[in-house]
A = this chain, B = another copy of it.
Amino acid sequence: MTTEQLRARQQALRAEYEAFCARGLHLDLSRGKPGPDLLCLADGMLDCVSEKTGYLTEGGVDTRNYGVLDGIPEAKRLFADILGVDPDNVLVGGNSSLNLMYDYIATAYAKGVCGHEPWSRQGAVKFLCPVPGYDRHFAITEFFGIEMISVPMTAAGPDMDAVEQAVRDPLVKGMWCIPMYSNPTGITFSDDTVRRLAAMTPAAPDFRIMWDNAYCMHHLYDDRQDHLLNLYREAQACGHEDNLIEFTSTSKISFPGAGIAAVAASPNNLADIKKRLRVETIGYDKINMLRHARYFGDIEGVREQMRRRAQVLRPKFDLVLNTLEEKLGGLEIAAWTKVVGGYFVSVDLLPGCAKKVAALMKDAGIVITGAGATFPYGVDPNDANLRLAPSYPPIEELAVSMELFCLCAELAAVEQRLTEVA
């Protein structure tokens, strides 16, 4: 495009943008939050435990009372099937897997991992952070002053050459991973990536992969699904099962605010976690575990639930992906993954455009996840990545938001080009 063509395009886009602003929108695409159309899909669960149905586990334990530190057997079995491990490797927690991850890092920092020196006494310890990634992961490591080292995400997962190089440093103590339908890029780690993660021998004996398998059940399509290799089994085959801690939850299966979460880990790691847990609590909410176990029955019940959820989410993701393709496809100003699962679409704009697009949208009344949020310390060195969360808004609002997003993305690109040629 010539400078004149760019100016003309800028003027046209600015006019469209002003028209949007005049509409007085108030929309929110910022968080991966289910909408009311998803929340209602598990309502039946709330009647699963009552006077009528009784409060006893299959083993006859009264879920109303104290006790059972690591979760009721039927809930452990459900998570074991979800994660592809044995029930003995599972510990069921409260409503938040983030809380379980926080507790793990907090304990590693203050007390150490499996008898090793606390991270807090080992100097400037570090953590590997595939980017773009999940801001709440980064917030935990930042809270404890753990230095975060960005590792680029590829279409196959984190750049494994960089990871294998980094773990030679004994101060590198762990790595955040969302291996399936990753937040935000939506990609799934390839078999080769999982095998390399399983096989690597970090210099630090207290190195732990934080394997946040939040979206392992979250397929959008019946015919197009990613497949994730089982890291625990692969690691076990190498004798490396102590190198990872796996997490998941039903937050986006049942209720975000009132689901159940779980840890899966090796016997050594579980014993280490329980040492702390015994001091931390008398036990998590077993009534809520029983609700989940009874409502889903088994993994097939979870799959059925996820198919119902996909029916609600699919049109939203189709809309996002189709609008991106229609408006920005071929312009060479944006790249994104054609995701088939998870909760997000991540868009890489031209370097230097992310903050501007987020600001333009905000000024027009639509909040998206802040630029930089997907990077450690909230700083995207290229200022290029933005995360879209299509799950919450009704589809009409999503359509408006995506139109505006594409408009802003093009406007930012055009104006940047104009600055460059000026």
Contact = CB atoms under 8 A, between A and B. Distances in A.
A33 interface: yes
Contacts of A55: 39
A51 interface: yes
A276 B63 contact: no
Contacts of A46: 49-51, 287
Interface in A89-148: 94-96, 98-99, 102-103, 106-107, 109-111, 120, 136, 139-140, 143-144
A49 B102 CA distance: 29
A247 to B, nearest CB: 13
A64 B256 contact: yes
Given A39-B64, A96-B282, A287 B143 contact: no
Interface string A25-64: 0000001011010010001101101110001000000111
B39 A279 contact: no
A197 to B, nearest CB: 26
A285 B255 CA distance: 10
Interface residues of A, number: 55
A257 interface: yes
Nearest to A144: B110
Given A281-B99, A281-B102, A36 B51 contact: no
Contacts of A63: 257-258
A311 interface: no
Given A256-B65, A258-B288, A280 B102 contact: yes
Contacts of A221: none
A152 interface: no
Nearest to A50: B46
A405 interface: no
A64 B279 contact: no
A98 B280 contact: yes
A387 interface: no
26 contacts: A36-B62, A39-B64, A43-B51, A44-B51, A46-B50, A63-B257, A63-B258, A67-B257, A94-B94, A94-B284, A95-B284, A95-B285, A96-B282, A103-B280, A106-B106, A109-B110, A110-B120, A139-B279, A143-B279, A255-B287, A257-B282, A257-B287, A258-B285, A258-B286, A258-B287, A285-B288
A-B complex: 7 closest residue pairs judged by Cβ atoms: A258-B287, A66-B256, A110-B110, A64-B255, A102-B280, A99-B281, A143-B279
Given A39-B65, A94-B95, A120-B120, 17 more contacts: A33-B67, A47-B50, A63-B258, A64-B256, A64-B257, A65-B257, A94-B94, A96-B284, A103-B280, A106-B110, A109-B110, A110-B110, A110-B120, A256-B282, A257-B283, A257-B285, A285-B288
